[in-house]
Structure 1
């Protein structure tokens, strides 16, 4: 029997469709791939034909790569840490419908990927959120295996030389995989991420550090978000914390380490023990600007919002509500895709401060400020930027 040579071409078609209330919209991606099988006969391919199954895997991978390329460099790295060692397979193949006159077959299958055990959230609330989001779309977690129901059509062209495969339904599987890959590293330090990725740890993290003074010992956080750097471990316990060099010029009165430039002034900064976060105010092009930044304690800024030159009034919203203890909590919020970030601070120096992260309306992180915290986010301060009011509630425990 002569050998078969393979050659593929691909096209993509995207359309938005309404999903359930847990996800307002989703994108259904239909990919079509053509394979040329030279001198392989005219027999209609089956759903389990090796060439058809190979095409299903190729189409999924090309869809994954396209989505991956649209992400930020930080998110690309986070997802790649898990995807580079995870294989997607096609299992449980069945023929749902067969048209003998055309040779077209409609097939059902299950995409599977065995995830590293540390990629599965231990927080039951997070697991419930993922299930509520993706199970209605056909993707689910079975132990540490991601499974997704897909459908594909396979048929040979009239000249008998090509196999046409059209795959649908794989976006939910891809979305669940992405979310698990991101959650795997979301609250990790650069040293922890490097260890997971099998990379050399950052130079600063590789050095053995002295035990931190009692007053700066971080409290373990259950979820990821944002934070501010801990003071240098080499400083005596009684000595004042020395801010980074760029702090002094911006705001001499602020002794809390922050991520603002010399041309900016911090209105919020704190450390959660693993990361540091800041909200900085400044002017550019005549616009009053606010900038949110987050970074590991020993690393460079990994997220900055918004892009340079965007005015505060168009990038952020403001809000205020009364907490359970009767004190006012002021907050600043912004949205990035399905995620909502809320920086909050109660009135007074001793009130709680932190950052809340929500995904599709569900709180997935509440990072409390532990040390080196400051806030000037009074209702009067936030009001002066002309921001819209965020009427959504601030979900604090």
Structure 2
């Protein structure tokens, strides 16, 4: 029997579909790869044919690389630390149906990859959050193995007899992998991360010396996403170490009394109610280290999201930005990334409550927008964040 040779090209199509059970959007990435299998006749390869499976793996990898390339260089570096040592396999392959007229096979399978043990969160609440987010979408964590249900089709084109494979449903698997990869190192300082990767200390020192914190600049690039109104975000729910969640107290820093989610040892620099949600950004000092924490809670309830984990330096967890709003007023914002999600808390520097809110993006696409109502306060600026050592978020902010 002649051997089959493989060559082909990949195309991508982004589809946005509204989820009926939650007020957010899920982006399904559909990748199609056409390849010629020379010397194999006109029969469509089966779902489990080695050539078909190889194409599925290639499609996933190219989809991952495309998503990876859209991240900031630092995020790419941190995700690469985990992805370089993992391999995605295709298992549990079944043929769902075969169209006798076209020869098209519809297949289902499970993508799997083994994560490093230190990439699996030890906090049970964090694990529960990841499972609650991804299992309804078909991706799960089994021990240290990430699994994701996918569907693909395989058929020959009528004219060139090329074999066309289309893969769908792999975005949740990709998202869970990415979140675990980021959680593995998100609380590591640059020095700690360089030590993990074996980077030379001199390179780090040179980078610090040659790259002083950039000045805040007006940016008009498309802005990041905000805290989604539901727990569909791939960000772990981390409660403070104390047994009870922080009580709602009255901010004393601003002249207006605004309920916030900061503890007694923290200073609120942003707080607002969006109607059904409350959000706060709190500052504190951990010894000589400046710290920030973002919390989101229902209007009546304890925080359902907190970032980052206790003890993380503000400069390692957040970025900042400043730009001019369409009406000419200055706007400052602070942002952070969790997996495929970017959260942005913004505030006009003139005290205008209409210029306060939270945006959430998934893979660069806005999925949630929480605007502050009149009961709001903010007392931060780009200059303040720069003094904390935060790096500038070059992606900018697209105001609603």
Q: 1:303 to 1:58 in 2, by over 3 A?
A: farther
3-state secondary structure, aligned to 1:79: helix
Normalised TM-score (structure 2): 0.60
Alignment of 1:358-373 (within 5 A): 362-367=305-310
Alignment of 1:285-296 (within 5 A): none
Aligned to 1:332: 270
299 and 359 in structure 1: CA distance in 2 versus 1, 3 angstrom threshold: farther
Contact 2:262 2:282 in 1 (8 A): no
1:370, distance to aligned residue in structure 2 (A): 9.4
1:171-208 deviation per Cα after TM superposition (whole angstroms, max 9, x unaligned): 000001111111111011233323433x23524999xx
Q: Which residue of 2 aligns with 1:309?
A: 218
* Distance in 1, Cα, partners of 2:307 & 2:10: 37
**Contact 1:42–1:160 under 8 Å retained in 2:** no
Task: Check if 1:56 corresponds to 2:71.
Answer: no
Q: Would the alpha carbon gap of residues 51 and 204 (structure 1) be closer, same or farther in structure 2, given more than 3 Å must change?
A: closer
Secondary structure of the 2:5 match is coil
Cα distance in 1 between the residues matched to 2:109 and 2:60: 13
| Change in 2 beyond 3 A, CA 1:324/1:183 | closer
Counterpart of 1:13 in 2: which secondary structure? strand
Give me the whole-angstrom Cα distance separating, in 2, the residues matched to 1:302 and 1:67: 29
Q: Distance in 2 between matches of 1:134 and 1:303?
A: 37
Secondary structure of the corresponding residue to residue 54 of structure 1: helix
5+ residue gaps, structure 2, are: 227-253, 273-277, 298-303, 315-346, 358-371, 377-400
Task: Describe the superposition over 1:138-172 as per-residue Cα deviations: whole angstroms up to 9, x where unpaired.
Answer: 00100000000000001122357321101000000
Change (3 A) 1:119 1:303: farther
Distance 1:203 1:57 in 2: 38
Instruction: Tell me the number of residue pairs that the alignment of Structure 1 and Structure 2 aligns.
Output: 283
Aligned residue for 1:189? Answer: 189
1:38 and 1:161 in contact (8 A); partners too: no
> Relative contact order (C-alpha < 8 Å, sep 6+): which is higher?
2
Pair 1:383–1:156, CA change in 2 (3 A) = closer
Deviation at 1:19, TM superposition (A): 3.0
Hey, what does 2:161 align to over in structure 1?
A: 161
**What SS does the aligned partner of 2:38 have?**
coil
Contact 2:281 2:295 in 1 (8 A): no
8 Å Cα contact 1:321/1:330 also seen in 2: no
- Describe the superposition over 1:90-123 as per-residue Cα deviations: whole angstroms up to 9, x where unpaired: 0000011112222111100000010000111111
Distance in 1, Cα, partners of 2:183 & 2:213: 16
Task: List gaps (5 residues or longer) in structure 1.
Answer: 207-294, 335-339, 372-380
* Structure number with larger C-alpha Rg: 1
Distance 1:384 1:111, change over 3 A: same
The answer as to 2:199 corresponding to 1:200 is yes
